[in-house]
């Protein structure tokens, strides 16, 4: 299986533009999440989902929307991009509730620049 | 919210040396994870710790879950050039579902 895949790998936007970052996993994981990584700050959780049709906010949700219509896909939408959203975005997935199996696996990331 | 303090922020060592890094928290975690991130890649899981006091090894890597459940350390023995990267600790708590809290990372540089 391919694990967690993300597209695109790189993206440049102008302020005010909208776009969707794609994330897919083929491991039948219930839990999916989006993080952003900024220099010196580790990874911060944006939104997460514990199953199809269920999403919730993480630590830094403002300016981002998500939906989970299928188990496999968890897109992240920027409705009106701002320079503060310049970052590297990572999607991750895991099982839920299985001790020892709930560790998260990360995609390769999307590097976003907002001008 | 919960915060993880990871230290040191960076290390520059000679090949063959041992390395130690740690994370501390003001809150209790039920799971501690250590990830490594190579440039341009996503974090890759190195070691997962599930019980207080647990000591787990993965090759040259050894990690421990602190007995207070508020800290963890990672040791790398006999470092090699491919150990270069950023190492992150992350914690999971039962009352936060699967939400991970990350440390700020330790950037490791190894001189051949």
Q: Find the distance separating the first CA and the last CA of chain A, reported in whole Å.
A: 36
Whether residue B104 is predicted with pLDDT greater than 80 in this model: the reply is yes
- CB contact (8 A) between residue B40 and residue A107: no
pLDDT digits (tens, 9 = 90+) for A39-56: 767 899 999 998 999 999
Most confident of A65-69, A94-98, B26-30, B51-55: A65-69
B45 and A103 within 8 Å at the Cβ level: the answer is yes
Q: Is A39 on the interface with B (CB under 8 A)?
A: no
Query: Is the pLDDT reported for residue B98 higher than 60?
Result: yes
Tell me the β-bridge partners of A33: A48, A92
Average the pLDDT over each of A25-34, A91-100, B11-20 and give the range with the smallest value. A91-100
Contact assignment for B31 to A106 by CB distance below 8 Å: no
Select the residue of B41, B48, B104 nearest A40 (Cβ to Cβ). B104
The pLDDT value given to residue B18: 97
CA neighbor of B86 nearest in space, from B105, B111, B100:
B105
What is the band of A113 on the pLDDT scale with cuts at 50, 70, 90?
A: very high
Q: How far is B9 from chain A (nearest CA, A)?
A: 8
B85: phi > 0 → left, psi -120 to 50 → alpha, else beta; which? left
């Amino acid at each position: 299986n391919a694990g967690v895949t993300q597209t695109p790998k790189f993206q440049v936007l102008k302020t005010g533009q909208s776009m969707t970052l794609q994330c897919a996993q083929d491991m039948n994981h219930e839990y999916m999440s989006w993080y952003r990584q900024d220099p010196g700050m580790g990874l911060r959780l944006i939104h997460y989902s514990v199953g199809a049709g269920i999403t919730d906010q993480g630590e830094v949700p403002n300016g981002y929307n998500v939906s989970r219509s299928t188990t496999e896909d968890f897109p992240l939408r920027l409705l009106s991009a701002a320079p503060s959203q310049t970052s590297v975005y990572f999607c991750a997935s895991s099982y839920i509730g299985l001790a020892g199996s709930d560790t998260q696996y990360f995609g390769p990331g999307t590097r976003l620049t907002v001008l | 919210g919960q915060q993880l303090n990871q230290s040191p922020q960076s290390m520059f060592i000679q090949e063959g040396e041992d390395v130690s890094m740690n994370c501390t928290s003001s809150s209790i975690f039920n799971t501690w994870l250590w990830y490594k991130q190579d440039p341009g890649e996503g974090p890759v899981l190195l070691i997962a710790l599930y019980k207080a006091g647990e000591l787990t090894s993965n090759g040259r890597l050894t990690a421990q879950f602190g007995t207070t459940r508020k800290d963890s350390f990672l040791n790398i023995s006999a470092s090699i050039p491919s150990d270069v990267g950023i190492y992150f600790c992350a914690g999971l708590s039962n009352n936060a579902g699967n939400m991970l809290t990350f440390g700020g990372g330790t950037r490791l540089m190894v001189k051949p």
